[in-house]
Structure 1
């Protein structure tokens, strides 16, 4: 599993296998966040199997499934709070890492850690298109 560093605490990734989840525990990762809905594609591990693998590896686990159109304020908040509260490194994953980084970018803009005009370049530096994060921010102005 290729992990893409986001900051000192968080990295994002594509779907991990059970063996890759076990390896995260050996590396000292504290939390695995799953941003994929179950049954998104055939052969996907699924949240129940992921939770079991994570717990067996000593990882905390958060199942927070989203799709581009279903990202909510609550999902952004829960993602940011989970990363902040984790006592060590966090790996968040979806199919490619894009949704996980989108959640982080939205929260980072909302908290002032990242400027809106920096979002696309931040994603591009990591090989991820964050145009969806900008569309989400446009559609959900802070109130």
Structure 2
């Protein structure tokens, strides 16, 4: 796994498999957010398989798939709700970009736009194009 830390509570990565979940639990994550719609790639494990394994391990699992239609207010609100859970949160998609984008948008109004952009950049993701949205 290529885990990238955004802050002390949130990390993101590219696609994971059910076999990665024990290591995520051991690393202290409590909530798993799946931001990838099923069926994007033939080798992609179904979200239901990851959810099943997460629940076996006592992890919270939240599905907020972001596909070609882009971001919605509901996705941002669902991300904000998932982040409100106690403990560390791990989000994944194909590359980590969608997970980082939803995290950034969920933080608009919660912290300064420059801080959001810097945290994402420190994790290797450029969300500077969202600056106007993050300043609202």
Instruction: Please give the range of the TM-score, normalised by the shorter of the 2 chains.
Output: 0.7 to 0.9
In structure 2, C-alpha distance between the alignment counterparts of 1:87 and 1:122, rounded to whole Å: 20
What TM-score do the two structures reach when normalised by structure 2? 0.86
Where does residue 14 of structure 1 map in the other structure?
14
Higher helix proportion: 1
CA contact (8 A) 2:33 2:91 kept: yes
Question: Which has the higher mean CA deviation after the structures are superposed, 120-129 or 9-18?
Answer: 120-129
- CA drift at 1:125: 2.4
1:3-30 alpha-carbon deviations (Å, 9 max, x no partner): 1111111111111122111221233311
Q: How does 1:1-143 map to 2 (within 5 A)?
A: 1-67=1-67, 69-84=69-84, 86-111=85-110, 113-115=111-113, 117=114, 120-131=117-128, 133-134=130-131, 137=133
Q: Mark the runs of 5 or more structure 1 residues left unpaired by the alignment.
A: none
The structural deviation recorded for 1:131 is 4.7
Contact 2:77 2:106 in 1 (8 A): yes
Cα offset, 1:122, TM superposition:
3.8
Contact 1:3 1:11 in 2 (8 A): yes
Q: CA RMSD in A?
A: 2.2
Structure 2 gaps, min length 5: none
* Higher mean displacement: 61-70 or 5-14: 61-70
TM-score of the aligned structures, taking structure 1 as reference length: 0.82
3-state DSSP of counterpart to 2:78: helix
CA contact (8 A) 1:35 1:93 kept: yes
